Amino acid sequence: MTPETRTRARRWLQQGALISLFLLPGCELRQAMYNQPRYKAMAASSFFPDGRSARNPVAGTIARGQLHLDKHFYEGKGDTGLATTLPMPLTVALLERGQQRFGIYCSPCHDRTGRGNGMIVQRGLKRPPSFHQDRVPGDAPGNGVNLKTVPVGYFFDVITNGFGVMPSYASRISPQDRWAIAAYVRTLQFSQDASFDQLPAEDQRQLQ
| Tens-digit pLDDT profile for residues 19-34 | 555 555 555 556 666 6
Nearest to 152 by CA among 35, 50, 73: 73
Q: What are phi and psi of 166, to 5 degrees?
A: -80, 125
Q: What is the mean pLDDT of the chain?
A: 84
- Residue 65 reports pLDDT greater than 60: yes
Nearest to 189 by CA among 113, 101, 75: 113
- Between residues 23 and 57, which one has the greater pLDDT? 57
Torsion of CA 63, 82, 185, 98, to 10 degrees: -20
**Alpha carbon distance 190, 169 (integer Å):** 24
**What is the DSSP code (8-state) at residue 23?**
H
67-111 pLDDT per residue, tens: 888 999 999 998 889 999 999 999 999 999 999 999 999 999 999
Q: What are phi and psi of 82, to 5 degrees?
A: -60, 140
What is the domain partition of the chain in residue ranges? 71-207
- Residue 141 reports pLDDT greater than 90: no
Q: What are phi and psi of 196, to 5 degrees?
A: -60, -40
> Residue 128: is the preceding peptide bond cis (ω within 30°)?
no
Transcribe 66-103 into DSSP letters.
-----HHHHH-EETTEE-SS-SS---HHHHHHHHHHII
Q: What class has domain 71-207?
A: mainly alpha
